[in-house]
Amino acid sequence: MPPDMIPVPLSKIDKDRLALSGIDLAMKNRCGSYLQMDQDIVQSECSQEGIEVLTYKKAMEKYDWMKDYAWKAVSPDKDEITKYVAAQKDPKGYVIIAHRGSSNILPIQACLYLGRELIQHVHNIIIAEEGAELHIISGCTSGAHVGKGGAHYGVSEFYVKKNAKISFTMIHNWTEEVEVYPRSAAVVDENGVYLSNYVCMQPVKKVQMYPTATLKGENSVARFSSIAIASPTSFMDLGSRAILEGKGASAELIARAITKGGTIISRGHIMGKTAGTKGHLECKGLILKDGRIYAIPEIEGLVVGTELSHEAAVGKLAQEEIEYLMSRGLDEDEATATIIRGFLDVKISGLPEALQKQIDATIDVAEKAGF
Amino acid sequence: MLHIEDLHVKVGEKEVLHDINLHIGDGETHVLLGPNGSGKTTLLMTIMGFSNYTITEGKIIFKGEDVTKMHAHERAKRGIGMLFQRPPTISGLKLGKLLTAISREKDADIEKLAGSVHMDRFLERDINKGFSGGEIKRSEVLQLMIQNPDFVMLDEPESGVDLENISLIGTAIGSLLEKEKQIIKRQKSGLVITHTGYILDYLETDRGHVMCDGMIKCHGNPREILKDIKQRGYRECLECRQT
- C-alpha A5: how far from chain center: 25
Task: Say yes or no to pLDDT of B107 above 80.
Answer: no
Q: Which residue of B has its CA nearest to A320?
A: B88
Q: How far apart are CA A243 and CA A301, in angstroms?
A: 10
B73/A331 Cβ within 8 A? yes
Q: How far apart are CA B48 and CA B85, in angstroms?
A: 14
Radius of gyration of chain A (CA): 20
**A88 in B contact zone (CB under 8 Å):** no
Taking the CA atoms of B100, A171, A59 and A73 in sequence, report the sign of the dihedral they define: positive
Which of A284, A317, A324 would you mutate first to test chain B, the one with the most B CBs within 10 A? A324
Q: Among A319, A323, A338, whose Cβ lies nearest the Cβ of B101?
A: A338
**B98 in A contact zone (CB under 8 Å):** yes
The confidence score (pLDDT) of residue A3 equals 45
B143/A328 Cβ within 8 A? yes
Tell the burial category of B46 from Cβ atoms under 10 Å away from its Cβ (0-12, 13-18, 19+). buried
The confidence score (pLDDT) of residue B238 equals 67
Coil, strand or helix at A40: strand
Coil, strand or helix at A168: strand
Q: How far apart are CA A156 and CA B110, in angstroms?
A: 45
Cβ atoms of A347 and A264 within 8 Å: the answer is: no
* Span B144-191, pLDDT tens digits: 999 999 999 999 998 888 888 888 999 999 989 888 888 888 889 999
Calculate how close chain A gets to B49, using CA atoms only, in Å. 8
Cβ atoms of A163 and A194 within 8 Å: the answer is: no
A325/B97 Cβ within 8 A? no
A328/B101 Cβ within 8 A? yes
A324/B87 Cβ within 8 A? yes
* Span B49-97, pLDDT tens digits: 999 999 999 999 999 999 999 999 999 999 999 999 999 999 999 999 9
Which helix H or strand E contains A46, and what residues bound it?
strand A40-46
The number of C-alpha atoms within 13 Å of A14 and in the hemisphere containing its C-beta is: 17
Which residues, other chains included, contact A369 with Cβ-Cβ below 8 Å and sequence gap of 6+?
none
pTM: 0.89
Nearest CA among B178, B75, B82 for reference residue B137: B82
Calculate how close chain B gets to A13, using CA atoms only, in Å. 31
Nearest CA among A26, A199, A218, A193 for reference residue A98: A193
Taking the CA atoms of B165, B171, B172 and B176 in sequence, report the sign of the dihedral they define: positive
In tens digits, chain A (371 residues) has pLDDT values of: 444 555 556 777 777 788 888 888 777 788 888 988 888 888 888 888 899 999 999 999 999 999 999 999 999 999 999 999 999 999 999 999 999 999 988 899 998 888 877 889 999 999 999 999 999 999 888 877 676 778 999 999 999 999 999 999 999 888 888 899 999 999 999 999 999 999 999 899 999 999 999 999 999 999 999 999 999 999 999 999 999 999 999 999 999 999 999 999 999 999 999 999 999 999 999 999 999 999 999 999 999 999 999 999 999 999 999 999 999 999 999 999 999 999 998 888 888 888 888 899 889 888 888 78
Distances (CA, A) of A111 to A14, B57, B120, B185, B230: 12, 63, 40, 63, 72
Q: Is the ipTM of this complex over 0.90?
A: yes
Q: Give the E-state strand segments of B118-196 in sequence order.
A: 126-127, 151-155, 189-193
Cβ atoms of A285 and A264 within 8 Å: the answer is: yes
- Count the Cβ atoms, other than its own, within 10 Å of residue A332: 14
Q: Which residue of A has its CA nearest to B149?
A: A328
Q: Which residue of A has its CA nearest to B76?
A: A329
Q: Which residue of A has its CA nearest to B102?
A: A328
Q: How far apart are CA A266 and CA A263, in angstroms?
A: 10
Q: Among A327, A338, A342, whose Cβ lies nearest the Cβ of B72?
A: A327
Q: How far apart are CA B35 and CA B234, in angstroms?
A: 6
Q: Where are the alpha helices (DSSP H) in B148-240?
A: 163-176, 222-232, 235-239
Which amino acid, one-letter code, is at B91?
S
B49/A324 Cβ within 8 A? no
**B101 in A contact zone (CB under 8 Å):** yes
The confidence score (pLDDT) of residue B140 equals 96
Cβ atoms of B199 and B190 within 8 Å: the answer is: no
Q: How far apart are CA B83 and CA B140, in angstroms?
A: 6
Find the mean pLDDT for residues B115-125.
93
> At what angle are helices A332-343 and B95-103 packed, to 10 degrees?
160
B104/A332 Cβ within 8 A? no
Nearest CA among A234, A320, A247, A242 for reference residue A281: A242
Calculate how close chain A gets to B242, using CA atoms only, in Å. 34
**A318 in B contact zone (CB under 8 Å):** yes
Calculate how close chain B gets to A339, using CA atoms only, in Å. 6
B97/A338 Cβ within 8 A? yes
Distances (CA, A) of A136 to A95, A207, A345, B5, B51: 12, 21, 20, 64, 47
- Count the Cβ atoms, other than its own, within 10 Å of residue A93: 23
Find the mean pLDDT for residues B199-214.
90
**A320 in B contact zone (CB under 8 Å):** yes
Q: Which residue of A has its CA nearest to B97?
A: A338
Q: Which residue of A has its CA nearest to B79?
A: A329
Is residue B141 very low, low, confident or very high in pLDDT (cuts 50, 70, 90)? very high
The confidence score (pLDDT) of residue A8 equals 56
Nearest CA among B54, B80, B81 for reference residue B141: B81
